[in-house]
Structures are given as structure tokens and as C-alpha cells.
Chains A and B, each alone.
Chain A
């Protein structure tokens, strides 16, 4: 057999497997059940406008708060991890390893219920506020590692040039290293933002007042209210509308950075 014939045959087999798999899914699925349970037009219509004005809005607000909080705390941890003072490094390392090693769901649960009891402290926003603090704390651990890697990726010659001009370590960090590190970490941090959007769904475990509900909590409540899964599909659509432009942006930023080298 000629190599070109063999290649064409192999390609043909791959297509056949793909078509068979799609056909099997279509044949096996119960389309009537899917239509009534997942794609019920009335239930879908009932989701609006609250799914946008309350649920999607809260998802975005929680994401922005968690991202900014995580970024600031993450930057502090990254600088601690690079500190010449050993105890700072130990604390940062312990923090990062601890919160990257625990499931976010467990940390949110702990903050919502255990911390208020242990410290006799009610965080603002009730259990949802506590959950949000947990999300900040967890995302900071991931962002700290990203930021640290970004800072270390700035060439050593940049530091040497700044120091040889008489700039002190703080000014060197602020005006020479960080501006370059930010460019390097923008794609991975945007990725982090997408992950965070989805992780706000974990806040459902904290329990929320009606006007505090984000997309997932809102959809779960809808599922029990209508005894129908259509609200989940509506929520999934909303997540994709928010995340898809961002993942496209990440791809674009990564391409730009690759060109910039």
C-alpha cells in the first residue's frame, strides 16, 4: 500500500468513528425528555430578567471583588516569597501550599460556618460575605505563584541596570520590575479570572439571601421551584456569555506576548 493511500484510509477510519459516535448519542438520547426537562421554553422565559439583573450581576460583582482582593493579597504574598527576610518567605510558602492544597469548597464552608463561631465574628454580607473572603484567600494563593513567576521572569540585567543607576530596591521593584512583570502575567491572570468566575458558583454552599444569589444558586433554586432543569441550562448560557470573550482575550494576549519576545 502506498503511504498516501494508507494516510487517506486512516483519515477515513477516524471520520467513521466520529460519525458513529455522534449517531449513537443522537439515537440513544431521549429527545422528548430533553426538550421537556432541559429546554422548556416557558421555564426558560421565567428566568428573565432576574437571571441577569440579580444572578449574573452578582456573579460578576463577586468575581471582581475576589479578583481584586486576590490580586492585592497575591502580590503581597509574592513579594514576601521573594523577600530576603526568611520568616516572610516561610509564611508565604506555608500559606500558598496550604490553600492550593485544599479544595476551595472546603475553605468557603469553613469561613462561612466555622470562622464566625471560632472568632465570634460576623463578616459583612453574612455567610455569603464570609464565602467571598474565602474565595479571595484561595485565589490569592494561586495568583501569588503566578506573580512570583512573572517577577522572576524579568531579566536580571534590568535589576542591575536600575541598581547601578542608584535606584533603591523599592523603586527598582515599582518602576522597573513590576511594570514588566505585569505584562508577563496578564495572560495567566486573565485565565485565573475565568477560573474565578466559575468558582463563584461554589459560594452556593455558604447559603445566600434572595438578592445575594449568583448564577448557580439562582439556577438551583429555579430547579426546585419548577421541578425542571431548564434554569441550569439558562445559567450555563450566562456563564458562557461571560467567559468565552475572556478566554478569547487570553488567547490573543498570549499571541501578542509571543510576538513581543
Chain B
């Protein structure tokens, strides 16, 4: 399964001294952060603390101002790196789903397989159907995004990312735009992924998910990592005032 260049002891994602400014707004102020192979890391923190920006730096949807980001040992801040190729190995799931509205579900799942991975039509369809099965939407392959509920759209978006056979998945508040009764289905799919050993970085406000599925929880505030550790430690026995203040509000 894994490519020969991957060694189990090298982190999947390794962020060193990452800084990111938008104009003179310092959003990330020297982040050190890593996600090991097969690990599920949940990133929590107040709105505006830079969680999304950190996540988006990892597949370079945002350009870091300074610092290094290694993905499977490859420096993605190096201008020589083939970003498109690296991105096929990093699945990303957005808060607003971002499905392609002009394509049906199968079209959404096969487009990038064909254009970026250069898979043939038959292979792309087969992979797409396997992943639809996995997220419990095998019967909706001809539906258009507008015909699906938010929860179904998000599961299609997860299946779309999985269809590239990524080595890791990034989630940016995947359930924040959903009606409460639809959250469970999406979290269920994510839990199943975690059980299968997928490497995951999840920005979330779902503390139950972080506690039960997360291997590690990272608390961010004001553009820095304030505290991190096992979920039961960070969520159950926080050491820093800011963590305590945040948790008292969300729990």
C-alpha cells in the first residue's frame, strides 16, 4: 500500500516555525505541529485563532509567510515541489462541502481521478462506486448536489477526496454547516475512516468526536499552539488558563 519512500517513523505532516500574515495581521505566529502516520489529530480553539489557516497551509491553499511544512518528508514550501502531485495525496474536506454543482455525484468523484490521476473512465467509476458505498450513498450516484441534503453532500465530498486514494485527510469543520440531526452520519463516516487507520487532521468543535476518536488534541489560540496531548488530558484536565476558558464555553 505505502510507497517505498514512506517510513513509518517519519511524520505524515511536520510543520516547523510556521508564520502566516495577511497584510499586517499576524495569523500564525510560529506553529510547531505534526501528525504521525495513522494518527488522528483534532485541532480545537476559538474562532479566528488560525485553525483553518494552519490546515490550508498544509496543502498550500495558503502560502506560508515563513517556516517549513513537510508532507511525507517532502518540503511543500520548496518552489521546485510538484504541488499538484502532493495534493493528490492529501484529501481535503471543507466546511461548505464545495461539491461541483454542474456535475452529478459520479462526475464529482471521477473528475479529478481522470484529470489529475489520469485514470481511465472504467477504473475511475469503479473507485468512485467503492467510495460511495463506503459513505452509504451507493444509491445516489446520479443525483446532483442540489438534490442532496447537507449531510449527504458532505459525505459525497468525503468520498470525492477518498477517490484519489490519499495518504491523509484534512477536515475543516466538516459538520459546522450541517443541521444537528445530520451531523451524526458524517461523524460516523469519519470514525470509520479513523478505524481503518487513515491519517487525519480534523479542525472541529465536536468535543465528543475529539475525545472518542482523536489520538491527540491540539488547542490553538491567537495563532499559537497553546496546549496539546491526549484527549482525556487536554479536554479533561487542561493546564492552561486559555484552554480552561475555551472549554468552559463549549462543553
Contact = CB atoms under 8 A, between A and B. Distances in A.
B59 to A, nearest CB: 6
B85 A166 contact: yes
A228 interface: no
Given A166-B164, A167-B112, A171-B116, A160 B98 contact: yes
Contacts of B85: 166
B88 A166 contact: yes
B94 A175 contact: no
Contact of B116 (A158, A161, A165, A183): A165
A165 B98 contact: no
Nearest to A172: B115
B98 A161 contact: yes
Contact of B87 (A157, A166, A180): A166
Most buried by A among B90, B98, B161: B98
Interface residues of B, number: 25
Nearest to B101: A180
Interface in B71-106: 84-88, 90, 92, 94, 96, 98-102
A180 B102 CA distance: 7
A163 B87 contact: yes
B61 interface: yes
Most buried by A among B90, B101, B111, B112: B112
B20 interface: no
Contacts of B99: 161
A162 B84 CA distance: 10
Given A167-B84, A168-B84, A162 B112 contact: yes
B155 to A, nearest CB: 15
Interface residues of A, number: 18
Interface string B153-174: 0000100110010000000000
A90 B100 CA distance: 32
Contacts of B29: none
B61 A179 contact: no
Contacts of B84: 163, 166-168
Given A158-B100, A171-B115, A183-B102, A165 B94 contact: no
B211 interface: no
Nearest to A171: B115
Contacts of B160: 165
Interface string A165-199: 11110010001100110010000000000000000
A164 interface: yes
A167 B83 CA distance: 10
Contacts of A161: 92, 94, 98-100, 157
Contacts of B117: 166
A180 B99 CA distance: 12
Q: List the 5 closest pairs (A to B, CB-CB), nearest first.
A: A166-B88, A165-B112, A166-B116, A161-B98, A164-B92
Interface of B: 59, 61, 84-88, 90, 92, 94, 96, 98-102, 111-112, 115-117, 157, 160-161, 164
5 contacts: A157-B98, A158-B98, A164-B92, A167-B111, A176-B100
